[in-house]
């Protein structure tokens, strides 16, 4: 499988800071993978997201070494509008940044900036709105929508620009459970139905355990762990030292194991836990 993202030895410090926000990070992502990024507050997750389209360092300034290549385009050589054709970034708190008079203008805005012809904009607008389940909302005012709907408009905005990779920075952190579920369901379909490569920053480890192919753990600007959800969520001590809350089924299993229950493989979903505990009961 071809790698759509190549991150090599990036170290980055914001202007007027001494301690780098990112410290020698390297990884590559095959096309179509669903990658989750987890880590405590201030770890560098958002900073890493801004590297994918070159906003770090182009927009933020500061010192960067190493390289980020997405879809064969190096962020060092290509400006943000070029990168935006390959990487759609839904920034943290994106829904608070919707500013157009209606949903239609909001979504068309990015496509117009990329210079798409009118007919393509109309088609992409329709397809993106249908995909996020908001067909018929074209003339609604974004600020009058629910939080979950606003976040789905933000996703439609980047989707309409036809990126290969979607980067979503904590898209559900401010949403109620129903809004979160709708947004997460949309993100899962982006990956599974459209085949988009997805990079998701989230604290929702239950969702990650169920749907992500891979988890990157960032702490203090460094990539401290890179593995499958199963590998990552079985590392109780490391997660705790990084102040990361693992899925509750994992926490329960860590505690039972400490009490002497014979648990070798930590279950990461409720279904797996049910099977394990049934076995323990009958065993």
Q: Which residues of 79-98 are buried (b: 16+ CB within 10 A; e: fewer)?
A: eeeebbbbbbbbbbebbeeb
Q: Looking at the DSSP assignment, which residues form a beta bridge with residue 172?
A: none
In the region spanning residues 81 to 110, those forming contacts with ligand ATP, defined by CB under 6 A, are 92
How many of the chain's residues bind ligand ATP (CB under 6 A)?
Answer: 13
When binding is defined by CB under 5 A, the residue of 46, 93, 173, 269 that contacts Mg ion is: 46
Q: Which two tokens stand for residue 89?
A: 């970034």
Closest CA to 7 of 88, 84, 76, 82: 76
CB of 14 to ligand ATP, least distance (A): 3
Residues across the chain = 283
Tokens of 220: 């203090």
Distance, in Å, from the CA atom of 132 to the CA atom of 134, rounded to the nearest integer, reads 6
21 binds, among Mg ion, ligand ATP, none (CB under 5 to 8 A by kind): ligand ATP
Query: What burial letters (b/e) apply to 197-216, b meaning 16+ CB within 10 Å?
Result: bbbbbbbbbbbbbbbbebbb
Q: Which is nearer to ligand ATP, 52 or 131 (CB)?
A: 52
- Judged by CB, which is closer to ligand ATP: 37, or 166? 37
* Residue matched to tokens 């089924």: 249
172 to 211: interface string for Mg ion, x by CB under 5 A: ----------------------------------------
Q: What does the alpha-carbon distance between residue 35 and residue 216 come to, in Å, rounded to a whole number? A: 7
Question: Which residue's CB is nearer to Mg ion, number 43 or number 83?
Answer: 43
Q: Is 42 in the site for ligand ATP (CB under 6 A)?
A: yes
The least distance separating Mg ion from the CB of residue 88, rounded to whole angstroms, comes to 17
Q: Cβ closer to ligand ATP: 39 or 246?
A: 39
Question: Shortest Cβ distance from residue 170 to ligand ATP (Å)?
Answer: 6
Joined together, the tokens standing for residue 57 give: 């360092």
C-alpha to C-alpha distance for 226 and 101, rounded to whole angstroms: 42
**Complex with ligand ATP: residue 41 or 193, whichever CB lies closer:** 41
Subset of 166-195 contacting ligand ATP (CB under 6 A): none
Smallest distance, Å, CB 47 to ligand ATP? 3
Chain residues binding ligand ATP by CB under 6 A are 14, 17, 21, 39, 41-47, 60, 92
> Which residues form the interface with Mg ion (CB under 5 A)?
45-46, 92
């Amino acid at each position: 499988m071809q790698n759509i993202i190549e991150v090599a030895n990036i170290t980055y410090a914001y202007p007027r800071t001494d301690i780098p926000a990112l410290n020698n990070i390297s990884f590559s992502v095959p096309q179509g993978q669903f990658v989750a990024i987890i880590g405590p507050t201030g770890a560098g997750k958002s900073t890493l997201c801004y590297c994918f389209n070159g906003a770090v360092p182009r927009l933020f300034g500061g010192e960067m070494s190493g390289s980020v290549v997405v879809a064969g385009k190096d962020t060092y050589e290509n400006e943000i509008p070029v990168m935006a054709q390959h990487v759609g970034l839904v920034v943290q708190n994106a829904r608070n940044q919707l500013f157009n008079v209606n949903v239609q203008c909001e979504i068309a805005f990015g496509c117009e900036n990329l210079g798409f012809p009118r007919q393509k904009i109309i088609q992409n607008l329709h397809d993106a709105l249908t995909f996020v389940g908001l067909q018929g909302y074209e003339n609604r005012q974004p600020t009058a929508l629910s939080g979950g709907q606003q976040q789905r408009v933000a996703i439609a905005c980047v989707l309409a620009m036809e990126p290969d990779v979607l980067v979503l920075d904590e898209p559900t952190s401010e949403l109620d459970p129903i809004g979160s579920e709708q947004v997460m369901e949309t993100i899962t379909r982006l990956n599974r139905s459209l085949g988009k490569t997805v990079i998701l920053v989230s604290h929702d480890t239950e969702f990650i355990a169920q749907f992500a192919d891979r988890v990157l753990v960032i702490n203090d600007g460094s990539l401290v762990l890179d593995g499958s959800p199963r590998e990552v969520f079985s590392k109780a001590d490391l997660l705790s030292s990084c102040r990361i809350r693992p899925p509750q089924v994992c926490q329960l299993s860590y505690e039972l194991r400490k009490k002497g229950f014979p648990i070798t493989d930590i279950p990461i979903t409720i279904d797996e836990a049910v099977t394990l505990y049934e076995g323990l009961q009958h065993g």
